[in-house]
A = this chain, B = another copy of it.
Amino acid sequence: MNQKESMCQHKLMITRDTLEVIQGKWRLPIILALTYGEKRFGEIQRDIVNISPKMLPQELKALEENKIITRTLYDSMPVTVEYSLTPLGKSMKKLIDEILNWGTHFRKEIVGK
């Protein structure tokens, strides 16, 4: 394998990494919801309309495993749980801005016409 090919293989690996974090129906919505600050489980559930009671815990867990968000348990009565973006999660801002930026352009070109 020459240098150019192995360079491309590396790029493909990196895009797979990024996609694994943002892919699916609910991960970006959850991340977006938390960009405005920490939120409790119930708040996220209310914010993200239509998310099912199965998907929310599952996707929160996945994001936590990828160190994008943190889960903090408060043993108040009743127990409350807060989720917030980690520094790694906050570092997605430029990426998300670019997703929004290009998506806006795309919509103007395709859906708009």
Taking Cβ atoms with an 8 Å cutoff, the residues of A that contact B are: 8, 11-12, 14-15, 17-19, 21-23, 28-29, 32-33, 47, 66-67, 88, 91-92, 94-96, 98-107, 109-111
Query: Are A109 and B67 closer than 8 Å at their CB atoms?
Result: yes
**Chain A contact residues: over half helix, strand or loop, or mixed?**
helix
Q: Which residues of B contact A18 (CB under 8 A)?
A: 99-100, 102-103, 106
- Among A12, A88, A98, A100, which residue has the most Cβ atoms of chain B within 10 A? A98
Query: Are A100 and B11 closer than 8 Å at their CB atoms?
Result: yes
Q: Which residues of B contact A14 (CB under 8 A)?
A: 99-100, 103-104, 107
- The 8 A-B pairs with the shortest beta carbon distances in the complex, nearest first, are A18-B103, A14-B103, A98-B98, A95-B102, A17-B103, A15-B28, A18-B99, A95-B98
CA distance A102 to B87 in the complex (A): 13
